[in-house]
């Protein structure tokens, strides 16, 4: 077979393959659109596979991050550990006045009087596994503030300006930190592929996210036996019954050792909170079944 003919066959094959991939993406997108079509709220979804094929709904639109911003914070800290500017075993003294009231803080419940030293590794664990807001702000102060995280992430689609205390000041303050579903899913992929941290710290943070105890009714809600490294984010519900954000981002492991990177943001929904979580669970289950079937 001569070279021109071989090239023509290859081009035809690539076109057919591209069309098949596009059809698959449209099939999954249609399924997800059906899930959210009868629900109240603003939905942003991004799903990226290992070949960088993407299924998106409002993927380029900005959504409030809430506690999903703890993942970029952890990346920034571990990068500084690699540069030996910080150490996982260095001690952090937690003063009683650091433990604010009226915020989500399992650490405060366990140590209400504070005045205790813990390692940096323990502090990150409280932030990622238990989503502790007080420890998050303590770690941000250690970094020098949100500006350090913003600079490290270096993505114009990420806005990280408010710490947890600032996010709790009023309804609108919780929406300052934001990102697009596409950018967050790409960040997860880049992290998982070892392009942000070294292998040791990538593995450590990944396992911490697998053990996360918040948002377990969302991506994992209908996939109890599927390994998902995830981070949730949750806002207030106001007097009008509007929940500002019910978020979940994560890395979903498939049986064939491949991974799916998924970011789901539910913004300003009037649905019951449990229903908002179930919507995310339905999207995750549909995604998992689609890729395992394929």
Q: Which of 105, 131, 164, 212 is catalytic?
A: 164
Q: Is 208 a catalytic residue?
A: no
Q: Strand 243-253 vs strand 228-234: parallel, antiparallel, or unpaired?
A: antiparallel
Residues 6+ apart with CB under 8 A from 215: 230, 231, 232, 233, 234, 247, 248, 277
Q: Which of 67, 192, 212, 235 is catalytic?
A: 67
The Cα 81–Cα 140 span in angstroms is: 14
- Give the residue carrying structure tokens 């991506």: 219
DSSP structural state of residue 238: -
Structure tokens at 197: 């941290």
The reply to whether 25 belongs to the active site is no
Torsions phi, psi of 99, nearest 5?
-95, 90
DSSP 31-68: HHHHHHTTS-SEEEEEEE-TT--EEEESTTS-EE-GGG
Closest CA to 181 of 214, 158, 209, 148: 158
Rounded CA separation 242/268 (Å): 6
CA 281 to chain centre: 15
Active site residues: 67, 164
């Amino acid at each position: 077979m001569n070279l021109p003919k071989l090239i023509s066959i290859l081009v035809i094959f690539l076109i057919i393959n591209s069309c098949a991939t596009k059809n698959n993406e449209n099939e999954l997108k249609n399924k997800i659109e059906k899930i959210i079509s009868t629900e109240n709220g603003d939905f942003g979804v991004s799903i990226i596979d290992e070949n960088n094929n993407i299924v998106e709904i409002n993927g380029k639109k900005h959504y409030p991050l809430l506690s999903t911003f703890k993942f970029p914070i952890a990346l920034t800290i571990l990068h500084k550990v690699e540069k030996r500017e910080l150490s996982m075993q260095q001690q952090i003294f937690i003063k009683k006045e650091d433990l604010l009231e009226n915020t989500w803080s399992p650490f405060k419940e366990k140590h209400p009087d504070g005045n205790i030293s813990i390692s940096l590794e323990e502090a990150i664990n409280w932030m990622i596994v238990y989503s502790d807001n007080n420890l998050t702000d303590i770690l941000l102060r250690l970094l020098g503030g949100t500006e350090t995280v913003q600079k490290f992430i270096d993505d114009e689609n990420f806005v990280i300006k408010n710490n947890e205390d600032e996010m709790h000041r009023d309804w609108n303050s919780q929406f300052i930190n934001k990102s697009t579903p596409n950018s967050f899913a790409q960040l997860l992929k880049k992290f998982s592929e070892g392009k942000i941290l070294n292998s040791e710290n990538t593995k450590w943070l990944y396992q911490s996210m697998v053990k996360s105890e918040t948002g377990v009714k969302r991506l994992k809600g209908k996939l109890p036996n599927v390994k998902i490294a995830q981070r949730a984010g949750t806002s207030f519900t106001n007097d009008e019954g509007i929940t500002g954000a019910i978020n979940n981002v994560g890395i979903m492991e498939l049986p064939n050792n491949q991974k799916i990177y998924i970011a789901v943001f539910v913004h300003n929904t009037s649905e019951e909170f449990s229903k908002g979580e179930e919507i995310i669970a339905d999207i995750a289950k549909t995604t998992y079944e689609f890729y395992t079937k394929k």
